[in-house]
Amino acid sequence: MLEAAYKTGLVFFPAFDWAISDTHPEREERLLYTQDQVFEEGLFDIDGITEFKAELADVRDVRRVHFCVPDEERVMTESHFISAGGAITLAKALMEKRIERGFALVRPPGHHAMRMVHGNRGFCNVNNEAVMVEFLRQTYGIDRVAIIDTDCHHGDGTQDIYWHDPDTLFISMHQDGRTLYPGSGFTDELGGPNAAGTTLNIPLPPHTSEEGFLFVIREVVLPILEEFKPDLIINSAGQDNHFTDPITNMHFSAQGYADLTRILKPDLAVLEGGYSIEGALPYINLGIILAMAGIDYSHVREPGYDLEKLRQSPQITKIIEETGKTVLQNWRQREIIGRHMKGFNKFAERRRSIFYDTDGLHETQAETLRVCDECGGALKIASRCDSGFQAMAVHIPRKACKSCKELGFTWYESADARSYDFIFLQNRTDDTYVERKRR
């Protein structure tokens, strides 16, 4: 009989009654064949693999991470609360030592959802991983967390949320932003001045195969993890690097995903994208679950798999090696880079334009950060969206110093309620969230 080497928890929530639209890749059918495979393989019967029922995330859980405009109910559906709740369910089970590892197979995905949410971008409304991580920090006092995003698309939402957080290492490996949505995630995106180097991006050329992915994990990600020493490793486990995925151009495989999982050893993984629903997902998910549980996955093979045909060119290998070098160099020089970014400035400012492809919205943001040597820094975001809403949001980080905390309150209180529809204060030092509305 099969037995898991590591007690593994699964939340399987395929949301069989939720879709963005009838023919959208993010539709009811997406995890149907994965379910068939998982059921037919009898995975939930294996000793040491436990299926948990997803719980609903609370609005409070969302408010630790996001500013939802106009409010949570208007930008999220029930399925989003369940998806984020599924991740929380496993986080709890892990902390209570009922499992050693967990994989939340939930939809909809979340890694394109940024701190400010006006709608859906890249199929995402709420960042499941961030909601889970902040829940863990609030409830169990977890401090240092690494999020490794292996989805084919740049995890720009997670990057945005942790851009100024020196205690969260965010590494995204993805298809080069010059060739794919959302068009970001280059090696020079390293985080803000108070957290330089704890955001790292590894863009990979189209047609990268097993060799390239595993090289990056072994030679770049693992050494950085070893130095960062996180309390927990989270994997944003997108499955769209597969050679059959209809909306990307990579050459990864089910065996490759299983290998990646075995080597990375994430404590918790959360499903992100992946839209080859028949030819890839059933096999990738099977491979990942077996790898997490420490069970032999060598027989997992999807139809059409041909190692030779999928092999990457020497040129691709060379580009990946160069990128790896750059990333490692940036990581090693992060203190210098950070000092340089800070300069003699009291504040760092960022102006951005963000588009919500799914909902067809356009937002402009002006972000002000207090440059600080003691904490992540008080953060203020002025946001205007063509949905018609204007918001001012203040974030006081979890370990804010006295000055940043006071500044955060001042910002919130002095904001002019005639100029904004909403003024928010997200105070992570005492886990509160308050708002004022237009006068």
Q: Rg of the chain's alpha carbons, rounded to an integer? A: 21
- CB closer to other proteins, 42 vs 360: 42
Determine, following the binding rule CB under 8 A, whether residue 14 of this chain makes contact with other proteins: yes
DSSP states of 76-115? --HHHHHHHHHHHHHHHHHHTTS-SEEEEEESS--TT--S
Determine, following the binding rule CB under 8 A, whether residue 78 of this chain makes contact with other proteins: yes
- CB closer to other proteins, 301 vs 438: 301
With CB under 8 A as the contact rule, the residue among 283, 331, 411, 422 that binds other proteins is: 283
CB of 39 to other proteins, least distance (A): 4
What is the distance between the alpha carbons of residues 20 and 126, in angstroms, rounded to a whole number?
Answer: 14
Q: Could you tell me the CA-to-CA distances from 220 to 65, 149, 225, 280, 285 in Å, in that order?
A: 28, 13, 9, 26, 24
Region from 31-39, 199-207, 398-406, 425-433 binding other proteins, contact rule CB under 8 A? 31-39
Determine, following the binding rule CB under 8 A, whether residue 73 of this chain makes contact with other proteins: no
- CB closer to other proteins, 37 vs 241: 37
Q: Token match 């075995």: residue?
A: 262
Q: Could you tell me the CA-to-CA distances from 42 to 8, 49, 105, 138, 284 in Å, in that order?
A: 14, 10, 16, 36, 16
- In this structure, what token pair is assigned to residue 321? 């090696």
What is the distance between the alpha carbons of residues 347 and 356, in angstroms, rounded to a whole number?
Answer: 28
With CB under 8 A as the contact rule, the residue among 7, 8, 9, 12 that binds other proteins is: 12
With CB under 8 A as the contact rule, the residue among 6, 20, 48, 56 that binds other proteins is: 56
Q: Identify which of 55, 47, 57, 54 has the alpha carbon closest to the alpha carbon of residue 8.
A: 47
Determine, following the binding rule CB under 8 A, whether residue 437 of this chain makes contact with other proteins: no
- Please name the residues in contact with 329: beta carbons below 8 A apart, sequence gap of 6 or more: none
102 phi and psi, to 5 degrees? -145, 150
CA angle 117, 118, 121 (to 5 degrees): 75
With CB under 8 A as the contact rule, the residue among 169, 300, 327, 382 that binds other proteins is: 300
Q: Token match 């950085």: residue?
A: 224
- CB closer to other proteins, 55 vs 321: 55
With CB under 8 A as the contact rule, the residue among 4, 7, 8, 18 that binds other proteins is: 18
* C-beta of residue 150 within 8 angstroms of C-beta of residue 284: no
Region from 20-28, 172-180, 194-202, 211-219 binding other proteins, contact rule CB under 8 A? 20-28
Determine, following the binding rule CB under 8 A, whether residue 23 of this chain makes contact with other proteins: yes
Determine, following the binding rule CB under 8 A, whether residue 103 of this chain makes contact with other proteins: no
Residue 218 is classified by DSSP as I
CB of 297 to other proteins, least distance (A): 8
- Using the Cα atoms of residue 19, residue 21, residue 25 and residue 28 in order, give the sign of their dihedral: positive
With CB under 8 A as the contact rule, the residue among 29, 73, 373, 413 that binds other proteins is: 29
With CB under 8 A as the contact rule, the residue among 1, 226, 229, 418 that binds other proteins is: 1
- CB closer to other proteins, 41 vs 321: 41
362 is catalytic: no
Find the DSSP H helices in 162-234: 210-216, 222-228
Determine, following the binding rule CB under 8 A, whether residue 257 of this chain makes contact with other proteins: no
284 phi and psi, to 5 degrees? -65, -50
What is the distance between the alpha carbons of residues 298 and 44, in angstroms, rounded to a whole number?
Answer: 19
Determine, following the binding rule CB under 8 A, whether residue 299 of this chain makes contact with other proteins: yes
Determine, following the binding rule CB under 8 A, whether residue 4 of this chain makes contact with other proteins: no
Among candidate residues 111, 112, 174, 242, the one labeled active-site is: 112
Determine, following the binding rule CB under 8 A, whether residue 110 of this chain makes contact with other proteins: no
Determine, following the binding rule CB under 8 A, whether residue 303 of this chain makes contact with other proteins: yes
Tell me which residues touch other proteins (CB under 8 A): 1-2, 11-18, 22-23, 27-29, 32-33, 35-37, 39-43, 45, 51-54, 56, 78-79, 82, 246, 278, 282-283, 286, 290, 295-296, 298-303
Positions annotated as catalytic residues are: 112
